[in-house]
Structure 1
Amino acid sequence: MKLLFVADPLEGFKTYKDSTFAMMREGASRGHSLLACEPKDVVWQRGGRVTARLRDIALTGDPHRWFTERDPVELALADVDAVLMRKDPPFDSEYFYATHLLEQAEREGARVFNRPSALRDHPEKLAILEFPQFIGPTLVTRDAQAIKRFHAEHQDIILKPLDGMGGMGIFRVGPDGLNLGSITETLNQHGARTVMVQRYLPEIAQGDKRILIIGGRVVPFSLARIPQGSEIRGNLAAGGKGVAQPLTPRDREIAEGIGPVLFARGLLLVGLDVIGDAMTEINVTSPTCFQEITDQAGFDVAKMFVDALEAAVRDA
């Protein structure tokens, strides 16, 4: 098959931990061809199909110069076997427009994973509210007074922007309410922006668990991202330590309850974030942690993913 990865620039990949690279490596091991582009390379011109100028790459096995490439090729996205949307967040206006171009390519016959409409329909923080049985107390609002009332009820809370990534913009306010007003103003910009507020979960000390769901099936190990030092954030990008561990019964209950629902909507790969017994995010844009789980637990996540991808292409 020809696999097209729509991703960030290849030159910035950290191949020792990058999940997109793990997908590429597994695909290449099976004889699949690898193509890559960035969202900015996708073009739709009047009367034509959605096309892109693609990098035709081969893996070298050298971590310092991990790919070589032949001359670029111009192809319609419908002429490759699978398009994998792996652009990292944030989900900004350009990401939004990219999903529309990819959706047009779908109408022309392209097979896109995850489906562009499903990416738009499942904002990574808001999507959890569809599944209240699996989450802790949560409020989404622009109203500063509503945030004050939530804090008065729950005492210890987390505030975060809806469009953050990698732990950016996350604040904790304890029972004393210190700086709640200032933090609220910073995040909601005097009512102009929507904020998510959640009860603080002390189980974060044991890690913010990333649980992967592939083709509606659950990977049997999570990666617990454990905050270090005085940090409250477990995100690896914020310095958290990743520890692979078997799923707990509650982890499995959450993932098995959500996985088939999201797969039916066109989400081949999903990453749930779970703290203690509560889900905190549903990641659909570019879920990661393949290599950490494989290296520590011995479970080949990339193999499971490419198996599911091949089956999805056959069934499309």
Structure 2
Amino acid sequence: MNLLFVIDPLNSFRIYKDTTYVMMREAQRRGHQVSVCLPSDLYWVHGGRVTAAVQTIELLDVDPARYAKGDDAQPWWRQVAAGEQALADFDAVLMRKDPPFDNEFFYTTHLLSQAEREGAKVFNRPAALRDHPEKLDILEFPQWTGPTLVTRDPARIRAFHAEHGDIILKPLDGMGGMGIFRVAADGLNLGSIIETLNDNGRTSVMVQRYIPAIKQGDKRILLIDGKAVPHALARIPQGNEIRGNMAVGGKAVAQPLTARDQDIASHIGPILAARGLLLVGLDVIGDFVTEINVTSPTGFQEVFNQTGCDVAALFIDALERRQPTWLAP
């Protein structure tokens, strides 16, 4: 297959932990051609097709662990060719631009939807990316979630706190644990936190009952084509931190899925896969789903390094299986 990855700049990759890197490496190992472009490289002109300035690259034989130690002088890729190519001419386009899902990300999904109409096969499917905001997606699956409130109304937030006592507040557009607050039963700083997140009623906020099981980790369950990877990646808060996100220092520990994890995945996975979401990351604390990540889920390398489960191989397996029966635009 001839694959196009829509990505952040190559020089921003931390290849000792990057999921897109191991996707590309596994694809190349199997003989597939790897090309890359930035979202800003996409364009459409009346009478033409969605096109991108692309680089075809070869991943070099390097030890990613060296980059974890700061030894990044050795190049890890080289350009084989460069030029402009319509997205529909690739066998698959993989949207791997990291969040935030801002206006430019949104516009990129519309260009990718137009490419689909022209015959491109895009994963995750751009319409599904738009329809599945990562914080709000849990609203579709209340049987798997804890008490949750989404509102602009400060009075409703205060009432939710009065009912549940210990709560988490977070912005709907946050990522990597940014902007997450805990307010315990004493209500300390609740007013100030509401003002910060709510912007005097102009910004919606998600409020959830605090789940003590966060001390055992915020589990990332990876779904590939609707099926769960056998191991979850528990992101365990460190010190006095309430957030387990790796971006804020959480410790990543791979662990087998529990029976509850399996039940959650077996219900949600096929539904999302049928909508063109080839790769999904469920965030689960204790028994409850707290977020559903669809933009650029990660964790492949951490799971592989700790368990030997080759998640990148499972992903490329799924992509290859999908090729003969691509979803129609």
TM-score scaled by structure 2?
0.95
SS at match of 1:72: strand
Letter in 1 for 2:180: I
Q: How does 1:47-86 map to 2 (within 5 A)?
A: 47-62=47-62, 63=64, 64-86=74-96
- Any idea what the Cα deviations from partners look like across 1:187-211, whole Å, max 9, x if unmatched? 0110111100000011000000000
Deviations 1:197-242 (A, max 9, x none): 0000110000000000001111010000000011000000010000
Q: Give 2:302's aligned residue.
A: 292
> Could you tell me which residue of structure 2 aligns to residue 203 of structure 1?
213
Whole-Å separation in 2 of the counterparts to 1:216 and 1:115: 14
**How much identity, in percent, do the aligned residues show?**
68
Of 104, 107, 116, which aligns to 1:106?
116
Q: Is the 8 A contact 2:57 2:81 kept in 1?
A: no
Which residue pairs with 2:100 in the alignment?
90
Are 1:183 and 2:193 an aligned pair? yes
Counterpart in 1 of 2:236?
Answer: 226
Provide the rounded CA distance (Å) in 1 between the counterparts of 2:272 and 2:230. Answer: 18
Q: Within 2, Cα distance between the matches of 1:288 and 1:14?
A: 12
Rounded Cα–Cα distance in structure 2 between residues aligned with 1:80 and 1:167? 35
Deviations 1:238-283 (A, max 9, x none): 1000000000000111111100000001100000000000000000
Distance between the aligned counterparts of 1:199 and 1:61, measured in 2? Answer: 47
The 5-angstrom pairing of residues 29-178 of structure 1 reads 29-62=29-62, 63=64, 64-178=74-188
2-structure distance, mates of 1:262, 1:77: 24
Matched residues in 2 for 1:94 and 1:36: separation? Answer: 18
Task: Name the counterpart of 2:271.
Answer: 261
Question: Which residue of structure 2 lines up, in the alignment, with residue 13 of structure 1?
Answer: 13
Whole-Å separation in 2 of the counterparts to 1:168 and 1:215: 29
Q: Is the 8 A contact 2:145 2:288 kept in 1?
A: yes
Deviations 1:90-141 (A, max 9, x none): 1110000000000000000000000000000000010001000100000000
Q: CA deviation at 1:298?
A: 1.1
Q: What is the CA distance between 1:70 and its match in structure 2?
A: 2.7
Name the structure 2 match of 1:26: 26
In structure 1, distance between residues paired with 2:183 and 2:228: 34
- When the two chains are superposed, the root-mean-square deviation of aligned CA atoms in Å is 0.7
In structure 2, distance between residues paired with 1:14 and 1:88: 13
Q: Tell me how far apart the structure 2 counterparts of residues 315 and 71 of structure 1 sit (CA, whole Å).
A: 29
Q: Distance in 2 between matches of 1:174 and 1:217?
A: 37
Once superposed, which parts of structure 1, at least 4 consecutive aligned residues long, lie more than 6 Å away? none
1:241 and 2:272 equivalent?
Answer: no
Once residues 117 and 91 of structure 2 are traced to their aligned partners in structure 1, the CA distance between those partners, rounded to angstroms, is 14
Distance in 2 separating the partners of 1:98 and 1:276? 35
Partner of 1:212: 222
Distance 2:195 2:112 in 1: 36
Matched to 1:19, the amino acid is T
Describe the superposition over 1:37-63 as per-residue Cα deviations: whole angstroms up to 9, x where unpaired: 110100011111000000111011224
Are 2:2 and 2:90, in contact at CA under 8 Å, matched by a contact in 1? yes
Letter in 2 for 1:45: V
Distance 2:89 2:83 in 1: 12
2:8 & 2:38 partners in 1: Cα distance?
Answer: 6
For normalisation by structure 1, the TM-score amounts to: 0.99
Question: Which whole-Å CA distance do the structure 1 matches of 2:102 and 2:148 have between them?
Answer: 23
Residue of structure 1 in register with 2:313 after alignment: 303
* 2: CA distance, partners of 1:87 / 1:168: 18
Range with bigger deviation, 66-75 or 246-255: 66-75
